Amino acid sequence: MVSKRFFVIFTIVFALLLGLPFTSTSQRQPNVEQRIDALLARMTLQEKLGQLQQLDGEANGNFRPEHRDLIRKGLLGSTLNVRGAQRTNELQRIAVEESRLKIPVLFGFDVIHGYRTIFPVPLAEASSWDSAAAEASASIAAAEARAAGVHWTFAPMVDIARDARWGRIVEGAGEDPYLGAAMARARVRGFQGHDYSAVNKVMACAKHWVAYGAAEAGRDYNTTDMSERTLREIYFPPFKATVDEGVGTFMSAFNDLNGVPASANPFTLTKVLRGEWKFDGFVVSDYTAVLELLQHGLATNEADAAQLSLNAGVDMEMVSRLYNQHGAELLRSGKISQATVDEAVRRVLRMKFRLGLFDRPYADDARERSVILSAANVSAAREIAGRSIVLLKNDRETLPLAKNLKSIAVIGPLADNQVDMLGSWTGDGITADVVTLLTGIKSKVSPTTKVSYAKGCEIAGDSTQGFDEAVRVARDADVVVVAVGESAGMSGEASSRSSLDLPGRQLELVKALQATGKPVVVVLMNGRPLTINWMAENSHAILETWFAGTQAGNAISDVLFGDVNPGGKLPVTFPRNVGQEPLYYNHLNTGRPPDANNKYTSKYLDVPWTPLYPFGFGLSYTQFRLSNLQLSAPRIRADGRITVSVDIENVGPRAGDEVVQLYIRDVAASVTRPVRELKGFQRLTLRPAEKRRLEFMLGPEQLGFYDREMRWVVEPGEFKVMVGNSSADPNELVASFEVQK
Ligand code: BGC
């Protein structure tokens, strides 16, 4: 005790001498809650409701003249989309110098995968299975955004998505709660750091709470209806991970959830989030989601909508103004309480303090100029994009390509396309910064290599006019690289599709190129799994590059020519046809699991039940071998832990990355369990012939589940452990152990 106190005093004195900050912001301001009390005591009801209001400053970063006025009167707590040091400072000055209580404005913006330097879309980053990469990209995005006056990003989106029709699958980490939680944690860490009052950090927002990704039929904004167990085991974990990481805010979703829309759902917003998880930040509604309670048929009028959301636990209202318009009357009639209003305001102010806005409200435009799109940021974007690329097929070692080929044909509507590479949610990214695939290839090959280009066709549309030229260009080349896929606008919000096929005439273009007999490398650029059976069967090589961001062309070329050996793995299942959706690896077994020799089992008449590419799948230019799987004990107690160890060896010709994946199956339990569940993974780089022993730990957090009474339990019985390079690795290693009574 004495020595601990001595150590603390010593550290403080030492830090003071050095002039170092020695505590986090919240610790530096032990009296934050008292300062909030003091503010609350002085605030009028309208000023309080103003703190609960967020308005859209319009997409081009301007703000509406009305906002100036509202801020001057203390009636607007936050904006979205206003950005840039100069613009934000202009508004902030009004808040801090002209409003009665001088409460700073909170500037929010969708910094989803980069601010100006755009990184690969989040689904791509999840394909890296590399949380350090996701953290690094979020950290750079935060530094750029904060320099531009943005305090708060509406990210990460941590919605689990099991249905590729849903366009917003591109914004998340795919279908798995374990991988999703790892990515969620990394991204919050990257955005916020340990102290988001820092000049290079922003406050994060876990969205969309909750189950938005389960929209029926993959149609955006649609209803979701699911068991509490599925919510808790599949959809909650990435959100819980963000709370564990100290996320500042949550966003309530648009969807109906089991009959109570997520933006008015006391179970999720209060019982789970505040009660069970002790979240002390605030919840913002999604865009006009409070008003939409009328359309849902939950609210009878606007005042009712405000009351339902606020009482359920939505603190700040985005864009619609019902709290403001009806707060006073609701308070008078007793439909909301003063305590509820004060608590919501307290949460918002707490985050403004935690962001350091009362001490440093302004952005610094010199910093903005030096940080944004810096050479270091751009090179990180290239590296992270390279780590996100997944090699789906590589027959006869078509890839990597030699840099001194005589000639390469670069073809396709996405081959020289700056617009779509950025994907959905482009932050402040601009297309002029984007390196296209054609440019990337040209700067990679030797000066003697002839690179010719033809567009072939558009992404969508019916014209085949460009086919002849494309075929001519292909015939003249040693190898054809064809870039096909979706436009950026085909995934993202309000961009669900009922077909997962390549749009337009692109598949015909690929077929025409294939008919030339030249080796064809397909470079896919897309925001969701696509049904690519023909290419999977006939093309020589396929690279899944998603939308790889500002440095797309350079990163893809690094992989095409072998400077980077691809090590990404799919974070989501690729179906053979859209009718298989939702298709995901961690499903239950059914009483009649598929059996090719028995019609009366769970499958389709017209398509195999298996995916085209399974979750976790991805190839490399080298090969790896797993061996020597061992468990530290044959049996453990329910509260015990077991270590799983395995050797991984690079048995191929080049250095490369493998993602070793550990799955478990609880063979029989009081509640049926998935056929497999990911419970560990490690991405590592090995030189040729290098061998390493990896360890994974399994304990109650990995082995448990929610029982019939929704209690987390580890039940006795047999557990299988499977270690492989995907969720369907034919050479995976298997062992079992027992949990004892
Ligand atoms: C989206 C959110 C986004 C918000 C603000 C909504 O339409 O659903 O994800 O953060 O707009 O732009």
Contact (Cβ atoms closer than 8 angstroms) between residue 386 and residue 564: yes
Q: Please name the amino acid found at residue 200.
A: N
Distance 286 CA to ligand 1 centre (A): 6
Instruction: Determine which residue's CA is closest to atom 2 belonging to ligand 1.
Output: 286
For the beta carbon of residue 300, count every other beta carbon within 10 angstroms: 11
Hey, which of 169, 286, 424 would you mutate to test ligand 1's pocket, going by the most ligand atoms within 8 Å of its Cβ?
286
Distance 296 CA to ligand 1 centre (A): 18
Q: How far apart are CA 544 and CA 268, in angstroms?
A: 36
The minimum-distance atom of ligand 1 relative to the CA of 254 is 8
Q: Check residue 60 and give its pLDDT.
A: 61
Alpha helical stretches, state H, 552-626: 552-560
Cα 588 to its chain centre, rounded Å, is 25
Q: Check residue 59 and give its pLDDT.
A: 57
Distance 155 CA to ligand 1 centre (A): 10
> For residue 375, with 0-12 CB atoms within 10 Å meaning exposed, 13-18 middle and 19 or more buried, which class applies?
exposed
The minimum-distance atom of ligand 1 relative to the CA of 81 is 12
Instruction: Determine which residue's CA is closest to atom 12 belonging to ligand 1.
Output: 110
Q: Read off the tokens for 538.
A: 């006939």
| Residue (of 647, 624, 643, 622) closest to 634 by Cα position | 643
Hey, which of 109, 154, 318 would you mutate to test ligand 1's pocket, going by the most ligand atoms within 8 Å of its Cβ?
154
The minimum-distance atom of ligand 1 relative to the CA of 157 is 9
Alpha carbons within 13 angstroms on the beta-carbon side of residue 248 total 28
The minimum-distance atom of ligand 1 relative to the CA of 208 is 9
Q: Check residue 61 and give its pLDDT.
A: 60
Q: What are phi and psi of 499, to 5 degrees?
A: -125, 145
Q: Read off the tokens for 223.
A: 């209803």
Instruction: Determine which residue's CA is closest to atom 6 belonging to ligand 1.
Output: 287
Helix (H, G, I), strand (E, B) or coil at 358: coil
Q: Check residue 674 and give its pLDDT.
A: 98
Q: How far apart are CA 351 and CA 80, in angstroms?
A: 16
Distance 437 CA to ligand 1 centre (A): 30
Distance 577 CA to ligand 1 centre (A): 30
Q: Which residues are annotated as catalytic?
A: 286
Q: How far apart are CA 387 and CA 377, in angstroms?
A: 15
Alpha helical stretches, state H, 402-477: 437-444, 467-475
| Residue (of 344, 362, 361, 363) closest to 36 by Cα position | 344
**Whole-number Cα distances in Å, 410 to 127, 471, 484, 521:** 25, 11, 11, 10
Q: Check residue 741 and give its pLDDT.
A: 87
Distance 388 CA to ligand 1 centre (A): 25
The minimum-distance atom of ligand 1 relative to the CA of 207 is 9
Written as one string, the DSSP assignment of 293-337 is HHHHTS-SSHHHHHHHHHHHT--BEES--HHHHHHHHHHHTTSS-
| Residue (of 638, 669, 667, 666) closest to 741 by Cα position | 638
Q: pLDDT by residue (tens digit) across 536-549?
A: 999 999 999 999 99
> For residue 18, with 0-12 CB atoms within 10 Å meaning exposed, 13-18 middle and 19 or more buried, which class applies?
exposed
Q: How far apart are CA 623 and CA 638, in angstroms?
A: 37
Q: pLDDT by residue (tens digit) across 376-419?
A: 999 999 999 999 999 999 999 999 999 999 999 999 999 999 99
Q: Check residue 730 and give its pLDDT.
A: 98
Kindly list the protein residues whose Cβ atom lies closer than 6 A to any atom of ligand 1.
Answer: 80, 110, 154, 207, 286-287, 493
Distance 55 CA to ligand 1 centre (A): 12
Contact (Cβ atoms closer than 8 angstroms) between residue 665 and residue 719: yes
Instruction: Determine which residue's CA is closest to atom 11 belonging to ligand 1.
Output: 287
Q: Read off the tokens for 611.
A: 């995916």
Contact (Cβ atoms closer than 8 angstroms) between residue 91 and residue 62: no
Please name the residues in contact with 149: beta carbons below 8 A apart, sequence gap of 6 or more: 82, 83, 84, 85, 87, 88, 89, 92, 107, 362, 363, 368
Q: Check residue 662 and give its pLDDT.
A: 99
Distance 180 CA to ligand 1 centre (A): 20
* First and final C-alpha spacing in the chain: 41
* Rg over CA atoms, the chain: 27
Instruction: Determine which residue's CA is closest to atom 4 belonging to ligand 1.
Output: 287
pLDDT averaged per 10 residues in sequence order, the chain, 741 residues:
43 41 45 96 98 86 84 97 95 98 98 98 98 98 98 98 98 98 98 98 98 98 98 98 98 98 98 98 98 98 98 98 98 98 98 98 96 98 98 96 98 98 96 98 98 98 98 98 98 98 98 98 98 98 98 98 98 98 98 97 97 98 98 98 98 98 98 98 98 98 98 98 98 98 87
Q: Is pTM, for the whole model, over 0.85?
A: yes
Hey, which of 205, 288, 290, 493 would you mutate to test ligand 1's pocket, going by the most ligand atoms within 8 Å of its Cβ?
493
